[in-house]
Amino acid sequence: MSVLFECKDLKKKYGKKEALKGISLQIESGQIVGLLGPNGSGKTTMIKLANGLLTPSSGEITINGNKIGVETKKRVSYLPERTYLNNWMKVKEMINYFADFYADFDSDRAYDMLNKLNINPNDKLKTMSKGTKEKVQLILVMSRDADVYFLDEPIGGVDPAARDYILNTIITNYNPESTVIISTHLISDIEKVLDDVVMIKDGELVMHKKVDDIREEYGKSVDEVFREVFKC
């Protein structure tokens, strides 16, 4: 395994507020990583920096050894917390749009996932529930053959019954040489698929460990350790 995602003394300020306070970490290829922390901890800021939507105040962030830019954007697939798709579009039109825009997009994979979730490709987004919209967006993101997938709260808006399917979709539809970084607060639902955990608190890295090491060291689940680390 090689280092796929790296931060070196990464800092980000919004005015006088420090959102990230010098984070340094390395994440290897072939991992599913939980990016954990309460609201306002800096998780989404880090993901936006990795996607080139924000620029660091100082420090460095790289993907596959490349600084964030045109080349890294080609190799990163990003699921934002909020739906960004056009309500008037049909699902099949979105698939065509993604296929035109991304060279690594696999339309057959997208249609297969839609079929398994009983989503009609001819339906318009505006006719769908919030949970179904989020499923469509996740399908589009996971149908790319990217190096890194950044998923910001991928199961936050779906019913518990669909969460297992969505997690299964994530772990069966990414390249084993790729890395999936999942930002979430629903840790008990997601920890069974995680290899690594990165915990951020007030813009600082407080833990980066293997899930198995956490369970062995603390004798507790990741969810229980998270609650202890972030208890008020």
pLDDT, position 27:
95
The candidate with the shortest Cα–Cα distance to 41, out of 228, 201, 184, 187, is 201
Q: SS3 letters for the chain? A: CCEEEEEEEEEEEECCEEEEEEEEEEEECCCEEEEECCCCCCHHHHHHHHCCCCCCCEEEEEECCEECCHHHHHHEEEECCCCCCCCCCEHHHHHHHHHHHCCCECHHHHHHHHHHCCCCCCCEHHHCCHHHHHHHHHHHHHCECCCEEEEECCCCCCCHHHHHHHHHHHHHCCCCCCEEEEEECCHHHHHHHCCEEEEEECCEEEEEEEHHHHHHHHCCCHHHHHHHHCCC
Query: What does pLDDT average to over the chain?
Result: 90
What's 211's domain CATH number?
3.40.50.300
pTM of the model: 0.92
pLDDT, position 207:
93
Work out the burial of residue 214: count CB atoms within 10 Å of its CB; fewer than 13 is exposed, 13-18 middle, 19 or more buried: buried
Structural domain count, the chain: 1
Tokens linked to 15: 């005015």
Query: What is the extent of the structural domain holding 172?
Result: 3-229
Instruction: Say how far apart CA 151 and CA 35 lie, in whole Å.
Output: 10
Cβ atoms within 10 Å of 22's Cβ, excluding its own: 15
- Is the CB of residue 172 less than 8 Å from the CB of residue 138? no
145-198 residue pLDDT tens:
999 999 998 877 677 777 787 788 787 777 778 999 999 877 888 888 899 999
pLDDT, position 133:
86
- How many residues would you count in the chain? 232
76-90 residue pLDDT tens:
999 987 777 888 899
Instruction: Give the chain's residues under pLDDT 70.
Output: 1, 157, 232
pLDDT, position 106:
95
- The residues, any chain, with a CB within 8 Å of residue 12's CB and separated by 6 or more, are 18, 19, 20, 42, 45, 49, 54, 56, 57, 203
pLDDT, position 214:
93
Instruction: Say how far apart CA 74 and CA 153 lie, in whole Å.
Output: 22
- Is the CB of residue 181 less than 8 Å from the CB of residue 33? yes
Phi (first) and psi of residue 167, to 5 degrees: -65, -40
pLDDT, position 204:
94
